[in-house]
Amino acid sequence: MLLADLGADVIKVENPTGDPVRKIGPHPDDDAIKSYGGYFQSVNRNKRSLVLNLKTPEGKEDFFELIKQSDAIVENFRAGVMDRLGLSYEIIQAINPAIVYASVRGFGDPRSGETPLNNRPAMDYVVQAMGGLMSITGPQGGPPMKAGPGVGDIFPGAMAAFGVVSALLSAKMTGKGQYVDVAMYDAIVSLNERIVYQYGYTGVTPTSTGNSHPLWSLYNTLPTKDGYICISATFDHEWQTLAKTMGQPELASDPRFATADARLANDQAAIDVVTEWTKTRTRAEIVAALSHLISVGPVQMAHDLFEDPHLRTRNMIVELEHPGSSKKVSVAGTPVRFLGTPIDGHTRAPQLGEHTNEVREQLLSRKERS
């Protein structure tokens, strides 16, 4: 998805029954054909769909022709599936030595580190649990809790895109492609770098701290008259600014709060003092008073995102057509911006096999020219 957003020609190879994610909703209320739902639309925009049965000689022949003319292949089957199909990295690399072959699996591929976990299936929830994310998420003293978004899927995917682009740059310079292996489990451990260095330095296992930070104060989510707001005043000058803005400059020299270490030792007292100020004001009033001085922001919900002019200006809410519906639907945009090569627009996700004939004709044309 990320590479397609940035202009790559991404061809999604599907079997004749299609990606099972197509069946997942939500669907527009007037969707007459239900070719796919919102989840599929969101992560498959800007791609083309090619139907191949890779278990047949004909399907493999078409796939090999595609490999000859492609820069990269990305797959996320369990370890060994592509090998059993006769589509291993070694076979593909022999056909196109410059190709980048990337795998995204739950626990990686034996080629880059064989472990007893390699053959296990995995889902977002599972790698959040195993990678330590759930151990530090949720209320203080409460049970482990997963993150709201599917970071166990999204972050490994972003790392895979980073790896593919890096390998493509190497291939451009050397003429040789290579294997790129991203394990979802590994990616989540890298995302949780804080708990790794904390335990590595202290030998103490971090646990969940709710909305506070174990190393900083004042860094928390506080109630207001109309919701919640996040305020970060961790450094001395930020605390001094916050105290002055609240009309209580004496807090800057209060022994409980005068230094970062003192504030951390008295974090709850600092939270209580600031909460007395925030709960008598709206989020907008607090943002107006502080946002140009320290880091502050309201806790927003989905409908707030749609109303935010900043996100609209930066094309972070993208409207797309949806097959079978007369209505436009919305998905999240890409956060990467280029001044020299701006991202002009997005195309909807493809229907199953929508581009099969088109891709085959292009492959045949290129083959004849070569």
Catalytic residue among 5, 124, 153, 186: 153
- C-alpha angle with apex 146: 27 to 311, nearest 5 degrees? 55
**Is residue 236 annotated as a catalytic residue, yes or no?**
no
* Interior angle at CA 206, CA 204 and CA 212, nearest 5: 135
Q: What is the spatial distance between Cα 327 and Cα 155, in angstroms, rounded to a whole number?
A: 31
Q: What is the 3-state secondary structure (H, E, C) of 65-110?
A: HHHHCCCEEEECCCCCHHHHCCCCHHHHHHHCCCCEEEEEECCCCH
Task: Answer for the pair 165, 8: CB distance below 8 angstroms, yes or no.
Answer: no
Residue bearing tokens 């925009």? 45
| 320: three-class secondary structure by DSSP | strand
How many angstroms separate the CA atoms of 193 and 132, rounded? 10
Beta-bridged to residue 228, according to DSSP, are 223
Nearest to 208 by CA among 131, 146, 125, 137: 137
For 225-278, the DSSP string reads TTEEEEEE--SHHHHHHHHHHTT-GGGGT-TTTSSHHHHHHTHHHHHHHHHHHH
Q: H or E segment at 14?
A: strand 10-14
Catalytic residues: 153
